[in-house]
Structure 1
Amino acid sequence: MNEVSLFRLYLLRAMYLLVSIGLGLLIWPQILFPSQPWELKQGVVLCMLAAFQLMAMLGLRYPLQMLPVLLWELAWKTLWLGVVAWPQWSSGTLDASNRANASACLWVVILPFVIPWGYVVRHYLTKPGERWRSAKGHAAVTPAA
């Protein structure tokens, strides 16, 4: 039984490709050819976005296994838009840099239409999680030294 249609898998792959190309063009030149030393937050953000881009590339091959990457994208952009951009916009204090970021983040409106929500519910919300301790009567597995 195929849980997710081939069409939906291609939509997911297209989303991963969009993220990969967009971030790849934006982030990697800054990482490979820095114009000056980075401050703490700038370095952290660039490295996190580069890692995110690499994870999105894995989504091209494994679109369902990498769904948490898209869920994270949906979560942080929705939070940022709601907690940072919306209050500033509604009070008339949205500055140019936050306006540019809000424009980039608004692409998140595509994600709810691409994510296979039935799959998400079955595999992340209703499926039993992994156990927290060893099974009764079985010795705990310890890594080889």
Structure 2
Amino acid sequence: MSTDRQAAPPVSFWRITALRILYALIAAALSSFVWQQLFFQSADWPVMRGIAKAMMGALAILCLIGLRYPLQMLPVLLFELLWKTIWLLAIALPAALNDRWSSDIESVFYETIGIVIAYLIIPWRYVWSRYFTQPSEPWTARDR
């Protein structure tokens, strides 16, 4: 097994704490409504709404794990950051610019715009080092 993996840069204690706070906020916000809806209101939902709510429940659980392992769970935050950013740029922005803003878009906008906080909290040097510059895991047994 190769041992040439470079170490990711250290992440400051304040940033680890900020990540934990972000995980806690996401878990609390989702848990405050999603579990009650899943268990008591889901019988008549369309399939896609049920899928979305189940994914939010899974995200809440993963964010609870992020409280213990904030750096290991960064891919969860990156996924959340990416889908919300894509939605804001591909759906909300064109709707606002082309006068197609609706109450549905506005509702989702207010649920997603808070993700800008994650841009300030995520340790980007760590992300770059860990996910883009470190050698990948072996693709074949021969690469080990």
State the match for 1:116 in structure 2. 123
Q: Which runs of 5+ in 2 are unaligned?
A: 1-6
Deviation at 1:103, TM superposition (A): 1.3
Q: Higher Cα Rg: structure 1 or 2?
A: 1
Tell me, yes or no, if structure 1 residue 27 matches structure 2 residue 34: yes
TM-score by length of 1: 0.89
State the match for 1:14 in structure 2. 21
Matches within 5 A, 1:1-145: 3-34=10-41, 36-135=43-142
CA distance in 2, matches of 1:58, 1:36: 29
Q: Which runs of 5+ in 1 are unaligned?
A: 139-145
SS in 2 for 1:135: helix
Task: Kindly report the root-mean-square deviation, in angstroms, between the aligned alpha carbons of the 2 structures.
Answer: 1.6
CA distance in 1, matches of 2:44, 2:86: 29
Deviation at 1:36, TM superposition (A): 3.5
Q: How many residues align?
A: 137
Q: Is the 8 A contact 2:66 2:72 kept in 1?
A: yes
CA distance in 2, matches of 1:26, 1:128: 41
Greater RCO (Cα-Cα under 8 Å, separation 6 or more) = 2
Aligned-residue identity in percent: 36
CA distance in 2, matches of 1:20, 1:35: 20
SS in 2 for 1:49: helix
